[in-house]
Chain A
């Protein structure tokens, strides 16, 4: 009786609390985005929030070089369409590499049983633990040896190597959740192992592939450090480098020396593919299956 009474009081107040927390969280997350959105349509985008009197689309025109930004010392994003294309190439290539390799590795790790498998799984996570900044020069020298300079595919490969470990874990999780019986039944019905793999296992792991595709696309799409050291011609820059070379160009302190209007407009455009990809994969993103940690090291 008493318990029920307590419950009657706590339930609604908990419900209210729930919404309060949600609103606080959304406030934290959305405020900067609101600023971003407003500044995009501000004719003279400054770093601080100002509601524009006359909203314009000029910033988008500036981005594609239709309208010149400013007289005097201002760079013009002459290669914007190429930069978008390059980013896209890097992102797609990264995606393909990561999806294929992590699917292969994930399947093998899921089905194989060997000693030291758990150590291998753990070392996958540990392998990239050295901070990037310490590895930078060796990585650069290595890439020069391999001829990855000014090579978009090379960039994608390096980015993919960084994204692989986690994605292998995710892929293995998905394969673990596909019962072996399913495959075995397929064998009984006369499927060869290979065709069972493609006809039964892969479709069942489809959501996993989508999830990996989403993450790896974003890894390639937004990367800055790897193209920074490998790409040395403006026409081959991805957008992240383009931003760093065109809109952040004034000397002086970092940060406040920025062309905010076009930068925000670019951010909106830059966010589009990710949003589309999210829309395509939204059903699967909430069903990520992770490999169990079965490490005995």
Chain B
């Protein structure tokens, strides 16, 4: 009796379970489970992704559209030393599926086969047309797209309106050539004592492009170490620091805190990245400038004024998302990447950090209302991408070395500097990798 009842109960239970299982199997297909990883910076960057709930939204979308349950693991590396850890992780093969990568690492990583060629993906993607050309150039190596740009930060001129008023220079000010910059700085130097008139550059190489030059010839794959533009670049620094003494050489040699000087109105004109607007001088920041719109003006960096030089120019780098070539779920990684670069996130990030968005459809919301950021979009039209060739970093390091080690302390003339630079570059990059443009000879 008891046994048969037990048996009966058991059979009923079994039937219910099997029936339930069958029902479940036939009517609700269990979502496929997939795990992918996102490799990014810890702190601000990871916080942004968490705060905006990008990953949760992505998960929902995947579940809805493809019935795939995607678990996204975040791999986070500290900001300090990020580049080094990223390179080490790429080399060791422990990087994530989607990678947050700076433009400088793209050519080398692409050459080593670390990054997935995204060309087939972006050609099918409507939004790709909306991305600014400068960003696209930054992620394209030998005609193949390796990443999708997320933020960019071009260089612009900031100037103190209050100092300009005291010096009697009309505002708004937009220099049309380098001569205009020298002139404004000269007037300030005469009329307003005890301040540094100008901080001529952030980085080093922009004047080369502003003089209409290039540093790399893609036709024969050679770096240019002697040309009129390179000479003009050295001349620009020579004029500012030595010939006209518009800034003390210590400004660079001792790495004076130009952002602090600018905040205290001890510096009239400075060339710096757009991010300074928020991260240095924004509300609540260490060097806060009250009523920044009233006190600080901004202008585009002009061309040299020589024939063939562009009217305005800026140089920009970008941080991008790329996909690891050895990723097991490339399509899902691409979906995640698409989610990460959605316009609303770009706009929000751009607004918070005053980095610029990289697509025109991302100029929305608070970003579009901000006058500085709206103006900064203009800069991107004049922006050149940093050249993307392995070896460019060495080239630029050497250029900086020549300015910092020879031009500034020893007051070497621009011609001497160019000779020194050509010699150093030939040695470091190899004689077959460099050339001189006429009328110069190696």
Contacts and interface: CB of A to CB of B under 8 A. Distances in A.
B325 interface: no
B21 interface: no
Contacts of A46: 286-287
The interface centre, meaning the residue of B43, B47, B276 with most chain A CB atoms within 10 A of its CB, is: B43
Interface residues of A, number: 39
A250 interface: yes
Interface stretch (B60-68, B75-83, B105-113): B75-83
B369 to A, nearest CB: 15
A71 B284 contact: yes
A31 to B, nearest CB: 20
A232 to B, nearest CB: 5
A44 interface: yes
B3 interface: no
Contacts of A78: 47
B97 to A, nearest CB: 14
B22 interface: no
A47 B285 CA distance: 12
A245 interface: yes
B278 to A, nearest CB: 6
A234 B255 contact: no
Interface string B270-282: 0001011011101
A246 interface: yes
Contacts of B189: none
The interface centre, meaning the residue of A46, A71, A78, A252 with most chain B CB atoms within 10 A of its CB, is: A252
Contacts of B354: 73
B352 interface: yes
B14 interface: no
Interface in A218-253: 228-229, 232-234, 237, 241-242, 244-246, 248-253
Contacts of B280: 250
Given A46-B286, A228-B85, A244-B79, A73 B257 contact: no
A237 B283 CA distance: 30
B275 A252 contact: yes
Contact of B43 (A47, A72, A75, A137): A75
Interface in B225-260: 255, 257, 259-260
A241 B78 contact: yes
A137 B92 CA distance: 8
Nearest to A241: B78
A144 B78 contact: no
A74 interface: yes
Contacts of A228: 77-78, 81, 85
Contacts of B80: 244-245, 248, 254
B42 A237 contact: yes
Given A228-B78, A251-B275, A234 B286 contact: no
Interface in B27-81: 41-44, 46-47, 74-81
B94 interface: yes
B169 interface: no
A242 B278 CA distance: 23
A111 B95 CA distance: 48
A246 B352 contact: no
Given A75-B47, A144-B92, A246-B43, A234 B74 contact: yes
Contact of A244 (B44, B46, B78, B287): B78
B91 interface: yes
B284 A245 contact: no
A228 B84 CA distance: 10
B44 A73 contact: yes
Interface string A245-277: 110111111101001100000000000000000
A16 B119 CA distance: 77
Contacts of A253: 255
A191 to B, nearest CB: 52
Contact of B79 (A45, A47, A140, A248): A248
A149 interface: yes
Given A72-B283, A244-B80, A250-B279, A232 B257 contact: no
A72 B353 contact: yes
The interface centre, meaning the residue of A78, A228, A250 with most chain B CB atoms within 10 A of its CB, is: A250
Nearest to A225: B81
Contacts of A242: 78
B153 interface: yes
A234 to B, nearest CB: 5
A74 B41 CA distance: 14
Interface in A38-80: 44-47, 70-76, 78
The 9 A-B residue pairs with the shortest CB-CB distance in the complex, in nearest-first order: A245-B42, A245-B78, A75-B43, A244-B78, A245-B43, A75-B44, A244-B80, A70-B284, A73-B353
15 contacts: A71-B284, A72-B352, A73-B354, A75-B47, A141-B92, A144-B92, A232-B75, A233-B74, A237-B42, A241-B42, A244-B79, A245-B43, A245-B78, A245-B80, A248-B78
Interface of A: 44-47, 70-76, 78, 136-137, 140-141, 144, 149, 228-229, 232-234, 237, 241-242, 244-246, 248-254, 256, 259-260
Given A71-B284, A73-B353, A252-B273, 9 more contacts: A47-B286, A73-B354, A137-B88, A233-B75, A233-B76, A234-B76, A237-B42, A248-B79, A260-B286
